[in-house]
């Protein structure tokens, strides 16, 4: 879960401990365009204080006004929809045709918010199930592949560690990439056993380790919420990380380098008993094709591809470095129209 939603839970737990009432609002379904994804949360205190977000702001204003005028009267959760008509969409700041369904849950000490916060801070992935009829709450262990589920009778949400990113190499490109990755709310670990690169590492919000990359991958126990990006250009380091990372459920594994270097890398990795299915998971050359040349531009290119993979978006060939450059070469040789990306 991202840091915004974790702050919603922490604030809710604190408000309850202080004797306040609070309304927890969760996005459970969206139609059309939506500013916030399913699972996003907002909490409104009984005096109108708010933390979190479920839209661009207008829905929040309506919910705050509702609490201030009527208080938190309900004792059980209820589902509401915003933006069903074009006028409502305009009124609540939703994109044209956008509709959002929310569950409004009045919180009590029995809602399990404090226990949920403790579990998340311990690094556990937790499923929180709310009975829409009784308001009863149950916490259980979750799988990283679980998601928000709402059928009108129960609401199931998943809470746990943020997405993690392992970056191999602490060079200049890694500094730009990690700065942006932290802004994207990744929990970033940088691995580089070379002291000359790590001695001056000072990117806030990142963790630096000096162990060997293959050991780091194993120690981190990578799951479906993890990305691995090898950026050293040194096969002795990058290949060690990749040969282990490609065997994990990590949603993204990529390596910097030219098309020729990446083909050579794939041949080397075959010697580590990686099969064709595992090798096919390797993103290389890493990033999308945007004509990037400087380290900041390359960092943007890489994280754009990582974001697409995280969100389950399949990129067309002309956005992939290998496909785009091949198309440009064909066009330059007179074999087709110029490629524009």
Tens digit of pLDDT for each residue in 197-252? 998 898 998 999 999 999 999 999 998 889 999 999 898 999 999 999 999 999 99
**What mean pLDDT comes out for the span 24-41?**
85
pLDDT at 5: 82
Model pLDDT for residues 307-318, shown as the tens digit of each residue:
999 988 888 766
Structural domains present in the chain: 3-159 (no CATH), 164-287 (3.40.50.720)
Look at the pTM and tell me if it is higher than 0.75.
no
The neighbouring-strand residues paired with 158 are 127
Provide the b/e sequence for 57-77 (b: ≥16 CB within 10 Å).
ebbbebbbebbeeeebeeeeb
pLDDT at 341: 34
pLDDT at 338: 37
Listed in sequence order, the residues at least 6 apart from 323 whose beta carbon sits closer than 8 Å to its beta carbon are 289, 316, 317
More confident residue, 313 or 303: 303
Of 134, 138, 131, nearest in space to 152 by CA: 131
Going from the C-alpha of 292 to that of each of 48, 165, 297, 321, the distances in angstroms are 46, 22, 5, 10
- Is residue 8's pLDDT more than 50? yes
- Is residue 138's pLDDT more than 90? yes
pLDDT at 1: 59
- CA 90 to CA 292: how far, in whole Å? 38
More confident residue, 142 or 33: 142
Q: pLDDT class for 326, splitting at 50, 70, 90?
A: low
Helix (H, G, I), strand (E, B) or coil at 198: helix
Q: Which of 17-21, 81-85, 184-188, 252-256 has the lowest mean pLDDT?
A: 81-85
% residues pLDDT > 70 (the chain): 86
Model pLDDT for residues 243-287, shown as the tens digit of each residue:
999 999 999 999 998 888 888 999 999 888 888 899 999 998 899
**What mean pLDDT comes out for the span 112-141?**
92
Strands 187-191 and 206-209: parallel
């Amino acid at each position: 879960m991202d840091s915004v939603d974790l702050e919603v839970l922490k604030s809710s737990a604190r408000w309850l401990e202080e004797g306040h009432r609070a309304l927890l609002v969760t996005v459970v379904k969206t139609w059309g365009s939506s500013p916030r994804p399913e699972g996003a949360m907002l909490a409104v205190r009984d005096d109108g204080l708010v933390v979190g977000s479920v839209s661009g702001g207008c829905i929040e204003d309506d919910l705050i006004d509702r609490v201030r005028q009527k208080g938190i009267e309900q004792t059980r959760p209820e589902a509401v929809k915003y933006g069903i008509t074009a006028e409502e969409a305009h009124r609540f700041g939703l994109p044209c045709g956008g509709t959002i369904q929310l569950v409004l849950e009045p919180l009590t000490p029995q809602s399990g918010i404090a226990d949920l916060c403790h579990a998340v801070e311990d690094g556990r992935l937790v499923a929180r199930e709310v009975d829409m009829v009784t308001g009863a709450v149950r916490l259980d262990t979750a799988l990283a592949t679980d998601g928000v589920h709402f059928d009108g009778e129960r609401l199931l949400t998943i809470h746990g560690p943020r997405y993690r990113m392992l970056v191999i190499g602490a060079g200049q490109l890694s500094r730009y990439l990690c700065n942006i990755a932290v802004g994207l709310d990744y929990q970033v670990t940088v691995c580089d056993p070379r002291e000359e690169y790590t001695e001056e590492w000072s990117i806030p919000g990142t963790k630096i380790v000096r162990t060997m990359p293959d050991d780091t991958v194993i120690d981190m126990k990578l799951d479906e919420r993890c990305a691995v990006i090898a950026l050293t250009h040194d096969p002795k380091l990058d290949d060690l990380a990749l040969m282990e990372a490609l065997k994990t459920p990590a949603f993204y594994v990529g390596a910097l380098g030219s098309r020729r270097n990446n083909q050579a890398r794939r041949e080397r990795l075959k010697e580590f008993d990686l099969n064709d299915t595992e090798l096919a998971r390797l993103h290389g050359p890493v990033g999308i094709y945007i004509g990037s040349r400087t380290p900041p531009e390359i960092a943007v290119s890489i994280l754009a591809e990582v974001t697409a993979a995280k969100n389950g978006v399949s990129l067309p060939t002309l956005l992939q470095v290998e496909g785009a450059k091949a198309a440009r070469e064909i066009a330059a040789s007179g074999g087709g129209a110029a490629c524009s990306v």
